[in-house]
Amino acid sequence: MILRTVGRTRKEWTLLWAFYLVTALWVSALLVPFAWMLSSACKNRMAVYRMPPQWIPELPRVASVVLDYGGRVPSREEVVEDAAVAVWMTWDRYGRESVWGVEVVSVAGGRKVFECRAPSYKIKHRKEREVIAVVLDADMVRRHAEGLMAGIEYRFSKSEGFVPKRGKGAFVDQAREIREFLRKQGVPVRSVGVRKSFRRLFDAFVSAWLYLYETANTSITFGRFLLNSSIVTGAVILLQLFISSLAAYALSRLLGPRLSRYLLLFFLATIMIPPLLLFMPLYLMMKNFLLGHIPFAHISLPTVNLLNPELPGYLHPLLRRALYPVLSYLPLILPHTAWGLSVLLFKGFFDQLPDELIEAARLDGASEFRIFTQVVFPLSEPVFSVMALWTFMAVWKEFMWPYIVSIVQPLKFWTYPVALFYKQSAGAYPNELMALAVLASIPTVVFFVIFQRFIERGVVWTGLKGGT
């Protein structure tokens, strides 16, 4: 007998490299949208539309403006007004191009008396809150100087610190243009410099995190909506795994074959119902939760409106404050507590477990719940991990049902996809929307990396029967 030589043949190497090439092309095709999303998030609001598309964004520029009052001592109001004109008129004129921030230093009598740093996201935020005209002019900025500078970092100084003789930067032509423009606005400009800033490249992410949704009286950050989605998704995963796995264990190990088959057909039938047909029944159930109206009888029993819960006044204020968010989250959680498909997948996995282990536990006097928790559960890590990831993906990105609930729910209980939809409808800048999309994808990637090992085990699982 001729022994086969150790190592791969030329044909095997060719197939292997072809497999690697196809895999690399497939992965690249999947990463291209994410790369473009990340690239767009690091651009300004006009560079996103630039043609031909620019994959690598250029570094933003920051304008450094030095105001000089000579030997006289200006009032605080005058300093703030001139700084507001320098910041806002520069950003309004050049912010659409490449200037993402303005720094102002005011000098009087050879001493630095004032300085401020205004990144683009703070300027945009103050403009939305002040609700001033779309087209700015110097007189309007001076009238609203206190409000416009309220959210921008600035401070007065009486120290004899370093006073720059000219603005820092290498873009001489643009700096000269900004200086002449500000002088026409009545600002005592000594010099202007323009330089690149790597830090300003991520202003869209900061803006998306701090100022996701705002009204006249409310400002809710990205973290609040992310927390809502995390609470809903985490609760659904726990309830889904607990209820579906117990139901599947009962079908697989406790009920008779005939009854188990009929119940299995029932769960299979629930999968065939289009989700859109369930929205109206779910809405009515959440509106009249628990008992409600008895069919074919004029009897109304006590109910709880989970869509807009109203707790009785005799409850303690602390208890009311604790129960209100719990009841408000329930309409988003309860419809996903048990899915027919998850019961089917759990049952299929439990059917493959060896009967000898379960029978041995029963002979030792273990209860069924103890068998499930100490025997079945440790052997079922792959299917639990796959179901956790599948549930996470389905609930985390769900939009339609949370959107229906958000119509009657307070703003602070919105999930992240709903908040992103309203943000887009309000006319958000495209770079901020891309930044929000990048931030929303991070939990998904982290969750997948954590459960990757268990998912691979679940995919290659072939059953324990017949094994050693």
Give the CATH number, domain containing residue 320.
1.10.3720.10
Short-list 416, 232, 394, 395, CA closest to 328: 232
Q: Per the domain annotation, does 13 fall within a domain?
A: no
Distance CA 36, CA 123 (A): 26
How many Cβ atoms from other residues are within 10 Å of residue 235's Cβ?
18
pTM of the prediction? 0.78
Is it the case that residue 285 has pLDDT exceeding 90?
no
Distance CA 208, CA 428 (A): 10
Q: Which of 197, 213, 232 is the last residue of a domain?
A: 197
**pLDDT tens digits for range 146-169:** 878 887 878 887 655 544 444 455
Q: Which of 197, 232, 262 is the last residue of a domain?
A: 197
- Looking at the fold, whether 230 and 143 belong to one and the same domain comes out as no
pLDDT of residue 1: 42
**pLDDT tens digits for range 221-266:** 778 888 899 999 999 999 999 999 999 999 888 888 888 888 888 8
- Looking at the fold, whether 147 and 250 belong to one and the same domain comes out as no
Distance CA 434, CA 417 (A): 13
Domain around 289: 221-459
Q: Phi-psi category of 385—alpha, beta or left, where left has phi over 0 and alpha has psi -120 to 50?
A: alpha
**pLDDT tens digits for range 313-362:** 667 778 777 888 888 888 899 888 888 888 888 988 888 888 888 888 88
Is the distance from CB of 102 to CB of 197 less than 8 angstroms? no
Is it the case that residue 170 has pLDDT exceeding 50?
yes
Q: Per the domain annotation, does 46 fall within a domain?
A: no
Short-list 158, 342, 330, CA closest to 249: 342
